[in-house]
Amino acid sequence: MMSTGFRTLVYKETLRFYKVATQTIAAPILTAMLYLLIFGHVLEGRVQVYPGVSYTAFLIPGLVMMSVLQNAFANSSSSLIQSKITGNLVFILLTPLSHWEMFSAYVIAAMVRGLAVGLGVFVVTAWFAHMSFVAPLWIAIFALLGAAILGTMGLIAGIWAEKFDQLAAFQNFLIMPLTFLSGVFYSIHSLPPFWLTVSHLNPFFYMIDGFRYGFFGQSDVNPYFSVSIVGGFLAVLSLLAIRLLASGYRMRH
Amino acid sequence: MTAIQISNVQKRYKSLQALGGVSLTIEEGEFFGLLGPNGAGKTTLISTIAGLIRPDAGSVTIHGHDVVTDFRAARRNVGVVPQELVFDPFFTVRETLRLQSGYFGLPNNDKWIDEVMENLDLTNKADTNMRALSGGMKRRVLVAQALVHKPPVIVLDEPTAGVDVELRQTLWKFISRLNREGHTVVLTTHYLEEAQAMCKRVAMLKAGKVVALDTMSQLIRRISGSQLVLHLKQGVFPDDLRHLVTHPEEAARGKYSLRINEYSEVEKILARLREGGAVIYEMQLQQADLEDIFLQIMEGKTV
């Protein structure tokens, strides 16, 4: 049963980003739109990844998923690091909220923001190409799992980081490379064999590939395989995050 | 019933022993003071009670609930006002208090929230963003946040540090009322006159250990006694009374402060002065205050 404390924390974390929606929702939508305009303009007609699918249409699900992932990560990580550095995390730590409730609340709020931005990106970019929805359930599953994974990674990064530059390092040296090398802008089958193999080790690739399958019914790997990789990755990260919260790592001294 | 039971709590930070086996029992309804110089371990002890710090050894229970193994029940029973002036800049005062109430499982708590705001003179700031408040107002919100779930035990870590007289009066009026209504209050403060006025019992900490624990009146009586302050008009102060003088530097001005343990000693001192031909110009009998006791204990003159 969802406790009042848990619901309050979800509400607070959601209200927190809603109050600065220009920065947390509108700005990333604009960024994704710029990616589409630039890459779409340069590569449309020159690159065709799947038969019958224009490059712009191929790019849109990638940009949507990238926005979901980056914003889910940003929400939980920035909330925690800000609370830790300004000291107001104490208001959460003094409450009877369990580590399960804290984990779920931070991740769900991160998912809400990630999915809100993703939906916004889709709404403004879908006008530029003919989009199909071959398997909507896969779209929903991968969007939810991707948002949950990055919300959890943000939580872990927020717990681990003690300074803003440590969080920035986590974001710049881990999240960004994994996102950009996951096939947002290309199919990994266009890569040389070595990088093709490396891409298969990147869990972000399976999120985007499975998500794209939902739109076009075509993907680099089987969506069932992708969902098992993504689901397993989420389980491992969740266990780690819950363990960190339960131990009070870098929060209760 | 015991409100807080602290049993042999130890906490070490690398080479620093912050708490070296602290044991205290605070009964329900007490107004208890926790005193000590900076670095004595007061905040570490309060943070342990609040569950913000995990002790290396020992245990703390609040109304019988262990703060580590039964933390949910323990935290429902305690409201902590942290020493640091922290706030969440995203929210207004009312939002802050509603959220804090919600975390404790109380979603429809506006009546009590309004009462707390009223008692802390926050009502006209209810819809103001936390960023826009003065330091004193932010301190009031911190107190309100700790009280929002009506905890039976209230812990205040230096709640009046750097705040004006008005807030102190408002705060103590409200906290005293809550104490009269049965809430247990634990207070740390650097303002010893505040502790003397409010606390019925105090513990003094020094280097992570309890060096004194008694009721305020016993502590004052037992440790320091009283002072007989004399201004001599003429005559010589007898040498055999000089060991009782607490501030020898004042003798040049004809002022002698003498420590006495019993009132019967006054007559003997006066008789001795008369024998020596001294004439008293002014005489006062002063009760020692908490500051005298605090200094004596911290300087290791008495335990």
pLDDT tens readout for residues B224-273? 567 888 888 878 888 888 888 877 888 888 888 888 877 888 888 988 88
Q: Note whether B99 contacts A83, CB cutoff 8 Å.
A: no
pLDDT at A186: 83
Closest of B87, B69, B77 to residue B144, by C-alpha:
B87
CB pairs under 8 A between A and B: 79
Q: Can you tell me which residue has the tokens 């002063």?
A: B286
Q: Note whether A91 contacts B50, CB cutoff 8 Å.
A: no
Q: Note whether A5 contacts B95, CB cutoff 8 Å.
A: no
pLDDT at B222: 63
**Residue at A62 is within a domain:** yes
The verdict on B88 touching A (C-beta cutoff 8 Å) is: yes
Q: Which of B48, B90, B98, B153 to mutate to test the interface with A (most CBs of A within 10 A)?
A: B90
The CA distances from residue B15 to A42, B36, B55, in Å, are: 62, 20, 15
- For residues A44 and A159, the model is more confident at A159
Q: Note whether A88 contacts B88, CB cutoff 8 Å.
A: yes
pLDDT tens for A119-164 read: 999 999 999 988 889 999 999 999 999 999 999 999 999 999 999 9
Instruction: Please count the residues of chain B.
Output: 303
Q: Note whether A5 contacts B103, CB cutoff 8 Å.
A: yes
Q: Note whether B54 contacts A248, CB cutoff 8 Å.
A: yes
- Work out the pLDDT band at A232, boundaries 50, 70, 90: very high
**Residue at A252 is within a domain:** no
Q: Which of A17, A23, A90 to mutate to test the interface with B (most CBs of B within 10 A)?
A: A90
Query: What is the C-alpha separation between A139 and A45, in angstroms, rounded?
Result: 26
Q: Which of B47, B71, B88 sits opposite A91 (nearest CB)?
A: B88
Q: Note whether A4 contacts B99, CB cutoff 8 Å.
A: no
Q: Taking all residues of chain A, what is their mean pLDDT, rounded to a whole number?
A: 93
Report the percent of chain B where pLDDT is more than 90.
55
The verdict on B72 touching A (C-beta cutoff 8 Å) is: yes
Q: Which of A4, A16, A98 sits opposite B105 (nearest CB)?
A: A4
Query: What is the C-alpha separation between A200 and A78, in angstroms, rounded?
Result: 29
B283 near B233, Cβ under 8 Å? no
CB < 8 Å to A4, chain B: 102, 105-107
Look up the ipTM and state it: 0.90
The verdict on B73 touching A (C-beta cutoff 8 Å) is: yes
CB < 8 Å to A19, chain B: 90
User: H/E element holding B4?
Assistant: strand B2-13
- Enumerate the β-bridge partners of residue B31: B185
- Domain with A189 in it: 4-247
pLDDT surpassing 80 at residue A46: no
Query: What is the C-alpha separation between A64 and B260, in angstroms, rounded?
Result: 83
Q: Note whether A248 contacts B82, CB cutoff 8 Å.
A: no
Q: Can you read off the two tokens belonging to residue A154? A: 């943000």
pLDDT at B247: 79
Please give the DSSP secondary-structure letter assigned to residue B280: E
CB < 8 Å to B147, chain A: none
Q: Can you read off the two tokens belonging to residue A214? A: 């939902």
B242 near B71, Cβ under 8 Å? no
Residue A252 backbone zone (phi > 0: left; psi -120 to 50: alpha; other: beta): beta
pLDDT surpassing 70 at residue A1: no
Q: What is the pTM of this model?
A: 0.87
pLDDT at B224: 56
Q: Tell me the fold of B226-287.
A: Alpha-Beta Plaits (3.30.70)
Query: What is the C-alpha separation between B268 and B275, in angstroms, rounded?
Result: 11
User: Per-residue pLDDT averaged across A49-74, rounded?
Assistant: 91
User: Per-residue pLDDT averaged across A202-212, rounded?
Assistant: 94
Q: Can you read off the two tokens belonging to residue A147? A: 């948002």
For chain A, the 3-state helix, strand and coil shares in percent, each to the nearest 5, are: 75, 0, 25
B99 near A8, Cβ under 8 Å? yes
Strands B78-81 and B226-234: unpaired
Q: Which residue of B has its CA nearest to A83?
A: B88
CATH class belonging to B2-220 = alpha beta
**Residue at A36 is within a domain:** yes
Q: Which of A16, A97, A253 sits opposite B103 (nearest CB)?
A: A97
Min Cα distance B104 → chain A (Å) is 6
Q: Which residue of B has its CA nearest to A105?
A: B103
Least confident of A15-19, B68-72, B156-160: B156-160
Q: Which of A19, A95, A252 sits opposite B53 (nearest CB)?
A: A252
pLDDT tens for B118-161 read: 999 999 999 999 999 998 899 999 999 999 999 999 999 998 87
Q: Which residue of A has its CA nearest to B54?
A: A253
- Work out the pLDDT band at B20, boundaries 50, 70, 90: very high
Q: Note whether A86 contacts B89, CB cutoff 8 Å.
A: yes
The CA distances from residue A77 to A25, A124, B110, in Å, are: 16, 26, 31
Instruction: Please count the residues of chain A.
Output: 253
The CA distances from residue A89 to B72, B146, B201, in Å, are: 17, 14, 32
pLDDT surpassing 50 at residue B303: no
Number of neighbouring beta carbons within 10 Å of residue B108: 11
* The total number of structural domains that make up chain A: 1
Sequence spans of domains, chain B = 2-220, 226-287
Q: What is the dihedral of CA A186, A188, A190, A193, to 10 degrees?
A: 150
Residue B137: half-sphere exposure toward Cβ, Cα within 13 Å: 17
CB < 8 Å to B87, chain A: 86, 88
DSSP helix/strand/coil, B215: strand
The verdict on B130 touching A (C-beta cutoff 8 Å) is: no
**Residue at A253 is within a domain:** no
A24 near A79, Cβ under 8 Å? no
Q: Note whether A96 contacts B91, CB cutoff 8 Å.
A: no
pLDDT at B82: 93
- Enumerate the β-bridge partners of residue B284: B229
The verdict on B50 touching A (C-beta cutoff 8 Å) is: yes
Q: Can you read off the two tokens belonging to residue B51? A: 């569950």
